[in-house]
Amino acid sequence: MRVFAWKIILGYNGILNSALLTLGILQQPSQIFLYNQFSTTLTFVHVWLPFMILPVITAFERLPQDLLEASADLNARPLTTFRRVALPLVTPGLLAGSINVFALTMGDFITPNLVGSPSGIMLGNVVSSQFGVVYNWPLGAAFALVVMLIVFLALTIVVRRGALE
C-alpha cells in the first residue's frame, strides 16, 4: 500500500504535480518524479525505515546512563561522548537494523517494478524475471543463490559483531 501511495504522490496526475501546478512552479504536469532511481530510493526508505528505526531505538534505550554520566563528569564534549561511548554500544543495533533492511531490499522486486525506472536493474528483479518471464530456472536459481550468499555473508559479519545478542 505504501508503494502505491508513493506512485499516487509522484505520478503524472499525482499530488506533487498538482501542488506544483497550483503554485505556478510548473506549467504542465511533469513525469520526472516517477520511474527513476530517486523514486525507487525514496519508496525504499519509506517502506523499510521502521525496520531500521526499531533496532536502533532499542539499542539506545539499553544504553547505560552511568557511562554517559561518567563521560560528562570527565568533561567530554557531547560529540565525543557520542562517538566514543554511545556509538560503539549502539553499533550492534545499527548492524541488526542494517541486515534487516538489506535482506528485505535484496528480495524486493515489486517496488522497483512499480515506481522504478525500466533501465534500473535490481537483483530481486533479475531473479523474478528469470523465473517468471524467461523461464530460465537454473540461471534464476544461481542469481537467488548469489543473493542468499550476500545476505548470509552480511549476517555472519553482523553476528560476529554481536548485533544479535
Statement: residue 164 has pLDDT above 80: no
pLDDT tens digits for range 52-68: 999 999 999 999 999 99
* pTM > 0.85: yes or no: no
How many other C-beta atoms lie within 10 A of the C-beta of residue 147? 16
Q: What is the pLDDT of residue 109?
A: 86
Statement: residue 99 has pLDDT above 70: yes
Rg of the chain on CA atoms, in Å: 21
Top-confidence residue, 159 or 56: 56
Helix axes 123-132, 137-160, angle to 10 degrees: 150
Query: Which domains are delineated in the chain?
Result: 1-34 (no CATH), 35-160 (1.10.3720.10)
Task: Compute the average pLDDT of residues 13-20.
Answer: 92
Residue closest to 143 by CA, chosen among 115, 122, 164, 163: 122
Q: What is the pLDDT of residue 129?
A: 87
Averaged confidence pLDDT in the chain: 90
Statement: residue 132 has pLDDT above 90: no
Q: What is the pLDDT of residue 163?
A: 66
Name, in order, each residue with C-beta under 8 angstroms of 126's C-beta and a sequence gap of 6 or more. Answer: 143
Task: Compute the average pLDDT of residues 36-46.
Answer: 92
Contact 127, 147 (CB under 8 A): yes
